[in-house]
């Protein structure tokens, strides 16, 4: 950074009104927004020992539920940060079935059900040491907050609002307001990360457009307490219940705590336009029956958009999470995509701030993560279109032969085309940074990008696959703060030339793995894994030019 004095003079020239800053607060990375994505970035940076500040305009108390579905990839990052157990325990109890149920109403007819044996609980799947979990932000955000604020290099300030910034050659100066005192302050940082959500003013200020389908759907979200709801109907326990009426699938119930808390979703512009007039109890009666005990806790409205920012970076400012991409919640991608963003950005910021990241490393954030944002948003949009295209016959809820036939046709359609909404292992684990400026393309053909099923691959750009090691660890437990060179099998080449090339500046650990399963999954005798657990390079032989490899993967080539 330039001298503090220079910065202060510059800011004072810009500041207007009575709020002249008295001191400049310094940090290396300023994160705006302490939603799950900002908190996860602070945790990732804190875990790497990078000084950062995170400011949040609210008091941080989550009053109303949003995301619940946490995919296996996010769980893997939580595992790395040591909070996977907390997330598992805070969410839906391990023995609660993650069943998706389609009914006319809880007192009416069952249409279809999708079981998800690979979700929830503690038993790992074959493809990950972690399973997808259900942990609403009511509990997830506080876990991430405690994690982030537990690092001494992280400063977390609630009720501080970001107002504006200027960028200088070697940093940004942000103007923020302490909402408790109404004081205006300046924070000087080397980088600014916008995690301020879908209505980001930073994105707007930078003139970054959101590309895609704006305002596709309008909803009410009703937070309900309905203790042991399953005792008041005959359909059994389910984590997600969709109600299909003659007008189509316009209501759903999302299980939150496995005991009594639910998010009741109601689609319709008429409700969105006038939430005050929505009779939540009557709407709940229609799906659950008037005799079902319930208490309406809170009501919010929200609209769904399927859009992606056309830039993820402008100068020293990066966009992550909902600030960068927004999607319809069908599929459960928003928060999970955001966690993936910051796992990618975190190590790159850290590498540059530590001095070993090359000049192009930070550019690779956008080239790697924006295509993932586009892919996931497109998938959510397709899910919605499939649902909308599925015709609902007027007799669907009738207790007649015609009604039974309509339900049977609906059941067939749901089972044919809906699994992709609820089982997304391929989406969660199978994304590949291809092409990537910091991975070494080995010319192997791409692995098909699938939705429901994940196909392990060590192709450069892929998430390095999971396999259990003899000592009970997952291969994923080997990856972390620096690069990891896996020497796979009994006779991999000696790694000396790679170690020497990396020793110049790039942190590298070397692991010898002999387990036969790892050999078959990893496909090569040498596999170089990045700090975020993605494969950077692989080969059966030593690289011709180890220095060129080191420079490529650290973004200096």
Ligand X SMILES: Cc1cc2nc3c(=O)[nH]c(=O)nc-3n(C[C@H](O)[C@H](O)[C@H](O)COP(=O)(O)OP(=O)(O)OC[C@H]3O[C@@H](n4cnc5c(N)ncnc54)[C@H](O)[C@@H]3O)c2cc1C
Contacts with ligand X, residue ranges (CB under 6 A): 32-38, 55-58, 66-69, 161-162, 195-197, 201, 221, 302, 321-322, 329, 332-336, 338
What angle do helix axes 137-149 and 36-47 make, rounded to 10 degrees?
Answer: 30
Contact yes or no for 218/301 (Cβ under 8 A) = yes
Please identify, using beta-carbon distances, which residue of 59 and 274 lies nearer to ligand X. 59
Please identify, using beta-carbon distances, which residue of 126 and 273 lies nearer to ligand X. 273
Please identify, using beta-carbon distances, which residue of 34 and 353 lies nearer to ligand X. 34
Please identify, using beta-carbon distances, which residue of 70 and 529 lies nearer to ligand X. 70
Q: Strand 183-189 vs strand 24-26: parallel, antiparallel, or unpaired?
A: parallel
Contact yes or no for 485/526 (Cβ under 8 A) = yes
Least distance between ligand X and beta carbon 241 (Å): 15
Q: Residue 291: which of 510, 64, 107 has the closest Cα? A: 107
Least distance between ligand X and beta carbon 264 (Å): 11
Please identify, using beta-carbon distances, which residue of 299 and 486 lies nearer to ligand X. 299
Sign of CA dihedral 186, 191, 196, 200: positive
Least distance between ligand X and beta carbon 58 (Å): 5
Least distance between ligand X and beta carbon 152 (Å): 22
Contact yes or no for 34/145 (Cβ under 8 A) = yes
Contact yes or no for 36/56 (Cβ under 8 A) = no
Report the C-alpha gap between 391 and 414 in whole angstroms. Answer: 11
Least distance between ligand X and beta carbon 346 (Å): 14
Q: Residue 77: which of 344, 330, 327, 372 has the closest Cα? A: 344
Contact yes or no for 486/522 (Cβ under 8 A) = yes
Least distance between ligand X and beta carbon 236 (Å): 22
Residues in CB range of 179: below 8 A, 6 or more apart = 57, 159, 160, 161
- For residue 453, what is the DSSP state? -
- Residue 162, beta-bridge partner list: 176
Least distance between ligand X and beta carbon 3 (Å): 27
Structure-token pair, residue 304: 């769904």
Least distance between ligand X and beta carbon 162 (Å): 4
Please identify, using beta-carbon distances, which residue of 346 and 403 lies nearer to ligand X. 346
Please identify, using beta-carbon distances, which residue of 314 and 506 lies nearer to ligand X. 314
Q: Strand 133-134 vs strand 535-539: parallel, antiparallel, or unpaired?
A: unpaired
The residue at minimum Cβ distance from ligand X is 35
Of how many residues is the chain composed?
A: 557
Least distance between ligand X and beta carbon 395 (Å): 30
Q: What is the dihedral of CA 196, 200, 201, 203, to 10 degrees?
A: 110
Please identify, using beta-carbon distances, which residue of 156 and 508 lies nearer to ligand X. 156
Please identify, using beta-carbon distances, which residue of 323 and 536 lies nearer to ligand X. 323
């Amino acid at each position: 950074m330039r001298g503090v004095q220079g910065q202060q003079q510059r800011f004072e020239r810009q500041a207007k009104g009575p709020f002249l800053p008295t001191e400049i607060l310094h940090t290396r990375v300023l994160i705006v927004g302490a939603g799950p994505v900002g908190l996860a970035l602070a945790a990732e940076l804190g875990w790497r020992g990078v000084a950062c500040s995170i400011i949040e305009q609210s008091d941080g108390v989550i009053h109303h539920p949003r995301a619940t579905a946490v995919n296996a990839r996010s769980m893997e990052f939580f595992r790395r940060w040591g909070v996977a157990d907390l997330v598992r325990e805070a969410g839906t109890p391990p023995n609660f079935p993650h069943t998706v149920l389609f009914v006319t109403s809880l007192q009416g007819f069952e249409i279809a059900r999708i079981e998800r044996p690979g979700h929830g609980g503690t038993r790992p799947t074959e493809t990950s040491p972690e399973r997808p979990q259900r942990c609403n932000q009511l509990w997830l955000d506080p876990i991430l907050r405690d994690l982030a604020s537990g690092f001494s290099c992280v400063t977390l300030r609630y009720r501080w609002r970001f107002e504006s910034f200027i960028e200088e050659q070697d940093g940004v100066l942000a103007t923020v307001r302490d909402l408790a005192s109404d004081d205006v302050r300046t924070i000087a940082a080397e980088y600014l990360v916008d995690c301020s959500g879908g209505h980001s003013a930073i994105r707007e200020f930078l003139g970054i457009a959101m590309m895609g389908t704006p305002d596709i759907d309008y909803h009410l979200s009703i937070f309900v307490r309905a203790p042991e709801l399953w005792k008041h109907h005959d359909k059994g326990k389910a984590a997600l219940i969709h109600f299909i009426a003659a007008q189509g699938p316009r209501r759903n119930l999302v299980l939150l705590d496995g005991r009594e808390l639910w998010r009741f979703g109601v689609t319709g512009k008429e409700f969105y336009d006038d939430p005050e007039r929505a009779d939540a109890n009557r709407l709940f009666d229609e799906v659950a029956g008037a005799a079902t005990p319930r208490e309406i806790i809170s009501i919010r409205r929200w609209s769904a958009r399927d859009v992606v920012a056309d830039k993820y970076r402008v100068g020293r400012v990066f966009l992550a999470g909902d600030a960068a991409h927004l999607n319809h919640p069908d599929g459960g991608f928003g928060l999970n995509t955001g966690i993936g963003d910051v796992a990618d950005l975190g190590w790159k910021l850290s590498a540059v701030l530590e001095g070993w990241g090359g000049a192009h490393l930070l550019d690779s954030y956008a080239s790697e993560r924006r295509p993932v944002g586009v892919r996931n948003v497109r998938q959510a949009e397709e899910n919605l279109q499939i649902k909308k295209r599925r015709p609902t016959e007027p007799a669907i809820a009738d207790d007649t032969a015609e009604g039974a036939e309509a339900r049977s046709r609906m059941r067939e359609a749901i089972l044919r085309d809906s699994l992709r909404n609820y089982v997304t292992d391929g989406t969660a684990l199978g994304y590949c940074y291809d092409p990537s400026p910091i991975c070494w393309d080995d010319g192997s053909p791409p692995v098909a990008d699938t939705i429901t099923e994940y196909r392990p691959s060590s192709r450069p750009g892929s998430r390095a696959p999971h396999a259990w090691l003899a000592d009970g660890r997952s291969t994923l437990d080997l990856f972390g703060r620096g690069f990891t060179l896996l020497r796979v099998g009994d006779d991999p080449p000696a790694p000396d030339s790679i170690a020497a090339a990396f020793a110049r500046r790039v942190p590298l650990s070397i692991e010898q793995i002999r387990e036969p399963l790892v050999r078959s999954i990893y496909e090569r005798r040498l596999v170089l894994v990045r700090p975020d657990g993605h494969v950077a390079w692989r080969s059966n032989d030593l690289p011709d030019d180890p220095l060129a490899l080191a420079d490529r993967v650290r973004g200096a080539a």
